[in-house]
C-alpha cells in the first residue's frame, strides 16, 4: 500500500466525557492505539509514503481544491504515475 497526501491529524482515541460537580464537562482521550511495533501515532499522525503539501489552513485548502478541480488532482495523478511505473 502506498499512502499519498499529507500526514493524518493523529486523532485516534474516542473521547470519554464526564460532567464535573460544578457543571463543567471534562473530555479525555482515554484509549491508546498502537501499531504492530508498539508505536503510538496519537497527536503525531501517520505520514504518507508520497507527501503532497496541502495547506493546513482550511480556507486556503478549499480554495486550492476548487482550483485543481479543473486541472486535475495532484494525489490522483500521483496514483496513475505510480501504477504506470510498476
How confident is residue 14, by pLDDT bands cut at 50, 70 and 90? confident
> Quick one: average pLDDT of 7-16?
87
Q: How many domains does the chain have?
A: 1
Residue-range definition of the domain harbouring residue 39? 4-84
- pLDDT tens string 48-85: 998 887 787 888 877 777 776 666 677 777 777 887 77
Q: In sequence order, which residues have a C-beta less than 8 Å from that of residue 3 and are 6 or more positions away? A: 46, 47, 48, 49, 50
Q: How far is the C-alpha of 6 from the C-alpha of 58, rounded, in Å? A: 14
pTM for the whole structure: 0.54
Amino acid at each position: 500500500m502506498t499512502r499519498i497526501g499529507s500526514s493524518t491529524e493523529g486523532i485516534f482515541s474516542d473521547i470519554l466525557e464526564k460532567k464535573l460537580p460544578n457543571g463543567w464537562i471534562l473530555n479525555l482521550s482515554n484509549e491508546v492505539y498502537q501499531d504492530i511495533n508498539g508505536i503510538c501515532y496519537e497527536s503525531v499522525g501517520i505520514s504518507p509514503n508520497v507527501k503532497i503539501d496541502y495547506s493546513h489552513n482550511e480556507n486556503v485548502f478549499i480554495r486550492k481544491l476548487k482550483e485543481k478541480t479543473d486541472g486535475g488532482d495532484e494525489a490522483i495523478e500521483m496514483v496513475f504515475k505510480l501504477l504506470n511505473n510498476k
